[in-house]
Amino acid sequence: MTDTVRKDFCTACRKETEYYLKKKDIVRTIRDKDYTFSITIAVCSECGGEMSIPGLIDKNIHEVDEQYRTREGLVSIDDIERLMKIYKIGKAPLSLALGFGEITITRYLEGQLPSKEYSDVVKAALSSPAYFKRKLVANREKLTDAANRKAMDAADSIENVFDVSDKMLSVIAEFFKQMEEITPLMLQRMLYFAQGINLALYGEPIFSEDCRAWVNSPVYPEVYNMFRDFKFNPQDDARFAILEGAEEGLTDKEKSVTELVVKTFGVYGNKSLEKISCNEDPWIEARKGYGDSNSTGDILSKERILKYYVEINQKYGINTEEGINNYINNILNRAS
């Protein structure tokens, strides 16, 4: 299939010509400070001059706005809309709940840039239901009973969904950040491998949650419950905002473990990851007596995982990509 031909009127050529899109760096001064932004321009295929095509100015405004907000650490309009969606609260009530003026959020949604102080308040509310609940309590008298109750119930619900340790949340966020695509089932297996490697290399768990031997995979029930009613791609769900930035809670060693897992186990599909995890001693031992039933099976104790992965480390050297890849190839060949 060929690409759609783009054509418009070129003022230099004085006729309709084909054009192509490319990026161009521009410098803009905002609040007495110079910034370089990358914007999209249309270039005439015949004369090489820039063309003005419908919608491009609006696109450039959006590109500059988005890049400026990122550089200055300011929330985006999308962030504010997600905040309203996950806490089921309107513009004016949200403004009051956060301690702002009644029309502040409305102005932000119309494109006004927030101050860094107000932006940080919005970010904190977006990433922490507990923080948002404290704001609701502090500004309770400014809201109607109905608005306060609805927002508080939504915050309670979100808090229950993300009922895992901070470290588990950080590891999950790091996997989503590093990988282009990861399903909830794949995430379960990646968490298990990260736990095993961290135990083997550093002698301690990367997070406190225990894994269970479900019929086709090691599973962390808390994580299963977290993503149970998310969309197929969790990143498309407004509640995913809770995870953004959570990866900052990892130490350098913990990040190195997640990177190892992503670069090795992470290149395989779900079926291969199932073969690997379900052919390892911890899962096999925990499934004894359960057969092919859909029972959740026994706990894969951290001690059991530690023992197995220490032995794997001694044999393959799983502190390197090469060592892990050798181990993966060996176990997949055995499982074939």
Asked if residue 147 and residue 89 are part of one domain, the reply reads yes
Is the same domain home to 148 and 181?
A: no
* Last residue in a domain, options 26, 42, 72: 72
Please identify which residue in the block is written with the tokens 């979100």: 158
Residue 240 lies in a domain: yes
Domain residues for 299? Answer: 166-335
Let me know whether 305 and 224 are in one domain.
Answer: yes
**Side-by-side strand order, sheet with 50-51:** 7-10, 15-30, 33-44, 50-51
- In terms of Cα–Cα distance, which of 25, 34, 30 is closest to 60? 25
Residue 238 to residue 155: CA distance in whole angstroms: 13
* Domain C-terminal end among 123, 141, 161: 161
pLDDT 10s digits, 155-200 = 998 888 888 898 999 999 999 989 878 888 899 999 999 999 999 9
Contact at 8 Å (CB) between 82 and 241?
A: yes
Tokens matching residue 242: 């809770």
Q: How much is the pLDDT for 334?
A: 87
pLDDT value for 335: 79
Q: Please report whether residue 32 resides in a domain.
A: yes
pLDDT of residue 231: 61
Contact 243, 230 (CB under 8 A): no
* Token pair listed for 195: 């736990």
Structure tokens at 221: 């029930």
β pairing state of 7-10 and 15-30: antiparallel
Give the ranges where the chain is alpha helix by DSSP (H).
56-72, 77-86, 91-97, 104-109, 116-127, 129-138, 145-161, 166-178, 184-202, 221-227, 252-263, 270-277, 281-287, 302-316, 321-335
pLDDT value at position 293?
A: 67
Domain count, the chain: 3
How much is the pLDDT for 241? 78
Look at phi and psi of residue 98 and say left if phi exceeds 0, alpha if psi is from -120 to 50, else beta: alpha
The neighbour count for residue 100, using CB atoms within 10 Å, is 19
> Does 274 share its domain with 228?
yes
Same domain, 202 and 230: yes
Q: Please list the ranges in the chain whose pLDDT falls under 70.
A: 1-4, 230-236, 291-295
Task: Return d(Cα 45, Cα 22) in angstroms, integer.
Answer: 12
Structure tokens at 139: 């500004």
Taking all residues of the chain, what is their mean pLDDT, rounded to a whole number? 91
Judge if 236 and 289 occupy the same domain.
Answer: yes
Can you tell me the distance from the alpha carbon of 311 to that of 93, in angstroms, rounded to the nearest whole number? 57
The pLDDT assigned to 4 comes to 59
Residue at 2 is within a domain = no
As a whole number of angstroms, the distance between CA 87 and CA 93 comes to: 11
Provide the whole-model pTM: 0.72
Number of neighbours of residue 168 by Cβ within 10 angstroms: 22
Contact 15, 4 (CB under 8 A): no
CA distance 63 to 301: 49
**What is the spatial distance between Cα 309 and Cα 268, in angstroms, rounded to a whole number?**
20
Asked if 152 and 252 sit in the same domain, the reply is no
Q: Among candidates 282, 303, 276, which has minimal Cα distance to 213?
A: 282
At 98, the amino acid letter reads L
| CATH number of the domain bearing residue 54 | 3.10.20
Q: Find out whether 62 and 55 touch, Cβ atoms under 8 Å.
A: no
